[in-house]
Structure 1
Amino acid sequence: MLPERFAEWFAARGWSPHPHQLALLDRAAAPATLLVAPTGGGKTLAGFLPTLVELASGAHRGMHTLYVSPLKALAADIRRNLQAPADELGLDIRIEDRTGDTRAAARARQRVDPPQILLTTPESLALLLSYEDAPRIFAGLRRVVVDEIHALAEGKRGDQLMLGLSRLQALRPGLRRVGLSATVENPPRLAEFLAPARGACGIIHADPGPDPNIALLETPEPPPWAGAGGRYAAAAVMDRIRAARTTLVFINTRAQAELFFQALWAENHEALPIAIHHGSLAREAREKVERAMVAGDLKAIVCTGSLDLGIDWGDVDLVIQIGAPKNVKRLVQRIGRANHRYDEPSRALLVPANRFEVIECRAALEAVYARDLDGDGRGDGPLDVLCQHILLTACAGPFDADTLYHEVRGAGPYRDLGRADFDDCVAFCATGGYALRAYDRWQRLKRTDGRWHLRDPRTARNLRMNIGTIVETETLAVRMRGRGGAPLGEVEEAFAATLTPGDTFLIGGQTVRYERLREMVVEVTRKPDRQPMIAVFSGVKMATSVELAHRVVSMLSDPARWHDLPAHTAEWLQLQARISALPRPDRLLAETFERAGLDHLCLYTFAGRNANQTLGLLVTRRMEDAGLDPVGFVSTDYALLIWGLRRVTDPAALLRPENLRAGLDTWLSENAVMKRTFRTAAVIAGLIERNIPGRRKTGRQATFSSDILYDTLRKYDPDHLLMRITRAEAARGLVDYGRIEEMLRRIEGRVDLVAAPHVTPLAAPLLLEMGKVPIKGAAQQTALETEAGQLMQEAGLTPEAKPAGDQFSRHVTSRHHS
């Protein structure tokens, strides 16, 4: 199967092609193939091997293969890594990437003269398909390779991509599709996502390779009772960095990455080269770090999900995860960054950020060794993404609705799309819907001779400027003050609005002083000697997955599985069992206790932070109706704590599914969550334009516009397409109501109520969550540590049990969340 030229190339390097690479080459002519292979197993070369073989057999004019990745950095990395074998094989081909970071001149040239291999992202592909000359750009296209397809399948970017592939398939009927992934919990479902026709997509499973070498990091002091930063372990992490060649330190959020980088640097007495990388840093800063990593100039890099996927840092031999991974697939993906080789185990350490995360990290380790990945099916494709696709299709030229409907049904997420929903989307794109049809600005499509087209061709520019499904909080650029000041990154507009000259904050691992806001740019100077505020960065705040939560509950309920836990954690759980009870998989543990003159109710749901936040709002409303006088609540991934003036004696009555569902609908209809969700859907669907030629709306302007539209539609057209989208998105997205329903199905009304004599060991960390504040100085940190000690004494975890007194009582009553 392997041509002699390629066999000699492998042999010259002392390599032998892996069986899955040859299997993919054997399926080169198949319409669709999904390759599931471990990190370091040569997935990328496998995906491109059929392309390189075909290009080596003769000249090919125009684009031959399109490679799509979820990250701009990954596309650039693949281009570098693919160029070397192409040159060594003597292939006279061009390999280029096209992302938001690509210069305008290069993008214009690529449309006129496409390279044989183009590496891009879903957004850039959607933009290319919106041009009138898309049929010419893709005239020679034979293959599409979708890398890290599991990551794309989890969100709207994947829906957008699959709609784009259906458009490409219509332009090039013989197009072949290849999906690549290392972490797939349900390969048949992912294969249907890539190619929905039954049996259309073959699946190749590579040898999974050796188990990783992964363990919990032992530190001189135990983790704190609450918190998410893991800064207590900075010295121990720095010791491991010194002993390794190159280390990736993953942290779940951008703000925590900044804080941990600062803590790590304080322990870096030798000034070893350590960098930070996350999505809110300036492009120049990110590219500088990436070049240094490729060159082997860095000892460690603190990063977020921006380096989760695919990038092959060849000399990385250790991965450290700070904080519980929240998701087993994400942990496996990150572990694979170390020892990026097929026949060597990856080496990784987990650093739980607090005492409860010790259990979650241990449960995640068990899942990794059991090769038990987590993942939820996403259901049907969202209609706001379809509306954007319809408008972009019109940008490329007139379309027939029947033909486009058949084409859209060829996309995996939309294979069950009903014609009525499709027609509603077309009508929305044409007029804005019943309540908005009188406004010219939303009259965008017109039907002539049975075909839909743009009413005003000039609209195409605005639509192209607003392509994408990622709608993050509005951000402002941060630059050093002065002519040509270096760009540092971006912060959220709401955070920038709180700054006054002289305030300091962290960005890019350094402390800077706010000077002024000039032309929507935050200008700063360096101020390393000041204790900084914590900047607010947009990004995903992850909840523990359903499968991992189930493993945690299972471990808690079975003391025989505690032998691998540190002694301090096992003793904590043993005390919980004596004072109260332990959570069980098929039941809900509810505790009540009195503290500081207030009655507390703790529900151990293990439903995730978003779901517990929603449950808190719904349950407290039910308590108000029952005259139980709730004062406030706080939620974590694993529990909900409510405090009030009266004791709850029947928590099961508060959790009846029919009452919660009715309460959800009432609450959503009048809550800001709906407006926030509506704004996101309206931007994606094209009702609100964030980018306008010559100017850009601020976040406040966009929010103001969307709020007016929401109130108008709610009053005059409550069944408007965008209102239906908003209700569905809010229920399954921000409020995560599906996790509440999953929890209620699991327990089937079985609630164990324990009237505890005082605060319990598992509940004590939740009381600390109520008092959490951004740390601005050592005095506040000391106060929180003192408060933690007092609470643990009350819970029975230290010999001297002393109540915290009225001071804590006053603090609690002032922090209500009603």
Structure 2
Amino acid sequence: MTTLPPSLSAWFTSRGWQMHPHQKQMLDRSQAPALMLVAPTGGGKTLAGFLPTLSELAEDPEPGLHTLYVSPLKALAADIKRNLQTPIDEAGLNIRVEDRTGDTSASRKKRQRADPPHILLTTPESLALLTSYEDAARTFRGLQRVVVDEIHALAESKRGDQLILALARLQSLCPNLRRVGLSATVEDPESIAQFLARHPDPCEIIHADPGPDPDIQMLETDEAPPWSGGGAAYAIPAVLEQVKRHKTTLIFHNTRAQAEIFFRNLWLANEDGLPIGIHHGSLDRAQREKVEAAMVRGDLRAIVCTGSLDLGIDWGDVDLVIQIGAPKNVKRLVQRIGRANHRYNAPSKALLVPANRFEVVECLAALEAVRAHDLDGDPRGAGPLDVLCQHILIAAASGPFQADDLYTEMRSAGPFADLSRDAFDACLEFCATGGYALRAYDQWQRLQQRPDGQWQLRDPRAAARIRQNIGTIQDSDLLKVKWRGRGAALGEIEESFAASLTKGDTFLIGGQIVRYEGLRELVVEVSRDPGRKPKVAVFSGTKFSTSTQLSQRVLRYFKAGDFSALPDHTADWLRLQTEVSRLPEPGRLLIETFPNDGRQQMVVYGFAGRNAQQTLGLLLTKRMEEQGLAPLGFVATDYATLIWGLDAVTDPRPLFDLDKLEAGLEGWLAGNAVMKRTFRSAATIAGLIERQIGGQRKTGRQATMSSDILYDTLLKYDPEHLLMRITAQEAMRGLVDFARIRDMCERVQGCIDHLELDRVTPLAAPLFLEVGKVPVKGEAEERLLAEELQRLMDGSGLSSL
């Protein structure tokens, strides 16, 4: 058991502090091989994670790396460094702390490998890079602890899988390494603990006092929300009034483009000139840091932001969080709420602002879930093989390895505990030769087996290229945006959006309207153009789907039929729906069909999330085309899919044959852009496609051409190639999200309520206002063209010839 040394005890006393119970528990259990702390935001969990390190180093400040801290954000590492320096300086401790991220200079990185600090703060990507060097054993010699912050966020992505494989490598180098995870409140702490621990070792879990429930409610507005849309412009006056009443307000959005639009609308309505900033991942780093510094100083009254401020950075005196748009995920909402009153045992204050009428219901369901401590989340799948392939290449870059040893090491990583030897060998073969269809090409002949059985790089120079391409974050094809003539950076926009611009077009970035002047050396040059109506930049970033648990809560709310908690405008809308049709229910699938505007309409209320509902639209229209029902197009939201066509669907049940839907999906996917996009991501992570060569980054167009050629080649000559199998798995659970369609079909067990109606229903009406309508090319289009041609012929008298 580690005890608090006198210097740190005196520091606590000088501040009038006492250790929280969970901080003392972390100190008492500091020798456990794996330990995870679950604590609410503001509960001092970062200090709890570092207290054993500070205590051990205070007693014995031996040179060399003692503790490695890993966080998902570079900004979080920098923030922790600032916060750690305070107790170190004030307690007079001889401890060196440094950070190492993508922003660290090359000379400093090189020096850190030879002379590491006591505490090194880094990210999963930088850690993977460190393990790839030949001198990794020397760098990590003496490492005793790894602290993984915000582990719940990392566990949901491939970055987490990469991190756990890197920890497996560190454990091989440092057998007595202790692992510590710091997590916000999560729905399944045991699964996160298993993710963290070395398999099959156990992981102890410490639960901090969750503190008081948050003060959270919906924002009252004078104007009712619109029927559709996601901008919440109607709420600007009410939001601005809340900003005036509070010291610092974080205004969260689900997408970067929505944040830009809202920021501009808020700024135009800001007649009092309150200092307001914007922060999201597409803005230039210098701009983000400027906003962050202003937040810490308390200079800003409001910050319009996205997920870039979700995680545990202490940004000064934030006393209100406003979530614009339905949160889509209860865990994410709780995380964002915790940004307000970032103090132990102080209730967080938050307001929800639904962007449209339906989101009022989802916001109410989310409020109830937060109050019931009912968090959502999906079970983790097996470790992804593209990440495993990258890890094999990283291991090869660091030196020769025995396949048996590497396989055993990988099996000690929780996500890969069930990895079969056949799957490992397939990945090793891919890394060595590129696979059956590619083995004739020298560029993919990367590994060779020595006479002693060890594997090594065929060309030692390949190590540099492997290191240049380490990472699992797949950025979209982004181009820098800079002021023309001055070269100062504003941020990034997607390459596809830049390609749509012509000189003189305007768009929003960083809250400013800019004029497109041209593209020079992969840089979008712009000038100021205030006062004009802008286009909206197509920013990258996740477009969230509503979680399964939240969707089911909405359905249970519908079944209860008590709308007294809703505003009158939404309650009246739902009551009208029950009069002319019915509301969807758990365990049943509601389908409405009715004529409108000369077309036959079908609405499927699947409540499966936007990606799955979009895929359902594709598959159902394909099935309708096969049955001669002449569909013309569809549009999807998180809750429903609207399909229109020439012929009425009299019996929709045969359309929902799960086997036929899945077979249709496989056929549709084979040559589809979704598949190629997914292949490109997997091939880049696995090392088949290099985005960086000799320090130069390929353009998105170049990378796309390379991946498309490879995909078409493998589809034709080697459809069972490892990467083709990985791509199919990724597509099914990613952009396509077929698992939720399968779950929907299995949940309803054929219980389909089909209502044939004579007009649009209240619940269906907003779907007609949705953007993103997808046309269907097929028999219906040909029939319309034939009818139009016949009308023309009849009118001209040609039909009698």
Q: Which amino acid aligns with 1:57?
A: E
- Of 249, 255, 279 in structure 1, the residue corresponding to residue 251 of structure 2 is 249
Q: Deviations over 1:574-596 (max 9, x none)?
A: 00000000110010011011101
Distance 1:182 1:122, change over 3 A: same
Which residue number in structure 2 is paired with residue 429 of structure 1?
431
Per-residue CA distance 1:316-375 (angstroms, 9 max, x = gap) = 000000001110000000000000011110000000000000000110011101111101
Asked whether 1:41 is paired with 2:7, we answer no
What's the secondary structure of 1:136's corresponding residue? helix
Q: Give 1:290 shift.
A: 1.0
Structure 1 segment 486-635 matched on structure 2, within 5 A: 486-560=488-562, 562-635=563-636
Pick one of 448, 454, 458 that aligns with 1:451. 454
Give the aligned partner of residue 671 of structure 1. Answer: 672
Q: Output one character per residue of 1:674-717: Cα deviation in whole Å (capped at 9) or x when no partner.
A: 11111110000000001111422111111111111111111111
Call closer, same or farther: CA 1:401–1:76 in 2, change over 3 Å. same
Q: TM-score by structure 1 length? A: 0.93
1:664 Cα deviation after fit:
1.1
Q: Show CA shifts across 1:400-448 (max 9, x none).
A: 1000000000111000000000000010000000100000000000111
Q: CA RMSD in A?
A: 1.3
- Do residues 650 (structure 1) and 619 (structure 2) align? no
DSSP 3-state at the match of 1:752: strand
Question: Match of 2:266, SS?
Answer: helix
Contact 2:7 2:92 in 1 (8 A): no
Q: Which one of 204, 208, 233 corresponds to residue 202 of structure 1? A: 204
Number of residue pairs matched? 772
**TM-score with structure 2 length normalisation?**
0.95
The amino acid across from 2:397 in the alignment is C
The one-character-per-residue Cα deviations of 1:53-82 (angstroms, maximum 9, x if unpaired) are: 001111221111111111111111111111
- After TM superposition, give the deviation of residue 89 of structure 1 in Å: 1.3
Task: Tell me the equivalent position of 1:122.
Answer: 124
Amino acid at match of 1:504: T
One-letter code of the match for 2:59?
A: S
- Any conservation in 1 of the 2:297–2:316 contact (CA below 8 Å)? no
| Alignment of 1:387 onto 2:389 | yes
Contact 2:590 2:605 (8 Å CA) reproduced:
yes
Residue 509 of structure 1 deviates from its aligned partner by 0.8
Matched with 2:474 is 471
C-alpha contact 1:466 1:689 (8 A) present in aligned 2: yes
Higher mean displacement: 723-732 or 647-656: 647-656
Could you tell me how far apart the structure 1 residues matched to 2:695 and 2:318 are?
A: 44
Q: Is the 8 A contact 1:314 1:339 kept in 2?
A: no
1:96, distance to aligned residue in structure 2 (A): 1.3
* Aligned-residue offset at 1:104: 2.2
AA paired with 2:637? T
Residues in 2 aligned to 1:404 and 1:555: alpha-carbon distance in whole angstroms: 51
By how many angstroms is 1:314 displaced?
2.7
Cα deviation 1:611-649 (Å, max 9, x = unaligned):
011011111111111111111100000001001111112
Q: How much does 1:772 deviate?
A: 8.2
Amino acid corresponding to residue 581 of structure 2 in structure 1: S
Aligned to 1:707: 708
The aligned runs of 1:11-26 (5 Å cut-off) are: 11-26=13-28
Partners of 2:626 and 2:529 in 1: CA distance: 53
Question: Does the CA-based 8 Å contact 2:478-2:494 persist in structure 1?
Answer: yes
Structural mapping, 1:47-86, within 5 Å: 47-86=49-88
Q: Map 1:106-185; keep pairs closer than 5 Å.
A: 106-185=108-187
1:685 aligns to 2:698 (yes or no)? no
CA change 1:771–1:284 in 2 (3 A) is: closer
- Range that drifts further, 579-588 or 754-763: 754-763
For residue 548 of structure 1, give the secondary structure of its aligned residue in structure 2: helix
CA distance in 2, matches of 1:96, 1:569: 53
Aligned residue in 2 for 1:325: 327
Equivalent residue letter for 2:553: R
CA distance in 2, matches of 1:209, 1:186: 19
Q: Spell out, residue by residue over 1:542-597, the C-alpha distance to the aligned partner (whole angstroms, 9 max, x if none).
A: 1000111111111122122x221111111010000000001100100110111011
Asked whether the 8 Å contact 1:149–1:179 carries over to 2, the reply is yes
Summarize deviations over 1:483-534 as a string: whole Å, max 9, x none.
4x21100001111111111111000110111111111111111111211100
Provide the secondary structure at the position in 2 that maps to 1:611. Answer: helix
Amino acid at match of 2:640: A
Task: Give the aligned residue type for 1:660.
Answer: L
Residues 371-410 of structure 1: matches in 2 within 5 Å? 371-410=373-412
- Confirm or deny: 8 A CA contact 1:214 1:365 kept in the other structure: yes
Aligned mates of 2:608, 2:53 — CA distance in 1: 45
Q: Which moved more, 1:227-236 or 1:614-623?
A: 227-236
Distance 1:381 1:252 in 2: 27
Alignment counterpart, residue 463 of structure 2, candidates 442, 445, 460: 460
**How many Å separate the matches in 2 of 1:447 and 1:701?**
33
CA distance in 1: counterparts of 2:52 and 2:695, whole angstroms: 44
Q: Distance in 2 between matches of 1:770 and 1:264?
A: 24
Secondary structure at the counterpart of residue 97 of structure 1: strand
Aligned partners of 1:214 and 1:348 also within 8 Å: yes
Distance 2:664 2:722 in 1: 23
- Residue identity over aligned pairs, in percent, reads 68
Match of 1:800 in 2: none
Letter in 2 for 1:333: Q
- Give, in whole Å, the separation in 2 of the partners of 1:58 and 1:771: 62
Supply the distance in 2 between the matched residues of 1:198 and 1:417 (Cα, whole angstroms): 13
Shifted more, 620-629 versus 551-560: the winner is: 551-560
**1:730 offset after TM fit, Å?**
0.7
Which of 198, 220, 225 does residue 218 from structure 1 map onto?
Answer: 220
State the shift of 1:268 in Å: 1.0
Give SS of 2:594's match.
strand
Q: Is the 8 A contact 1:326 1:543 kept in 2?
A: yes
Aligned partners of 2:199 and 2:411 also within 8 Å = no
2:270 to 243, 268, 271: 268
Secondary structure of residue in 1 paired with 2:194: helix
Quick one: distance in 2 between partners of 1:770 and 1:42? 44
For the residues of structure 2 that align with 1:715 and 1:519, how far apart are their CA atoms?
Answer: 36
- Show structure 2 runs of 5+ residues with no match: 775-787, 789-801
Distance 1:199 1:486 in 2: 51
Counterpart code for 2:496: A
The one-letter code of the counterpart of 1:478 is V
Q: Tell me the secondary structure at the aligned position of residue 735 of structure 1.
A: coil
* One-letter amino acid of the structure 2 residue matched with residue 384 of structure 1: D
| Separation in structure 2 between the aligned mates of residue 277 and residue 772 of structure 1, nearest angstrom | 31
Contact map agreement 1:40 1:342 (CA 8 A) in 2: yes
Contact 1:668/1:674 (<8 A) preserved: yes
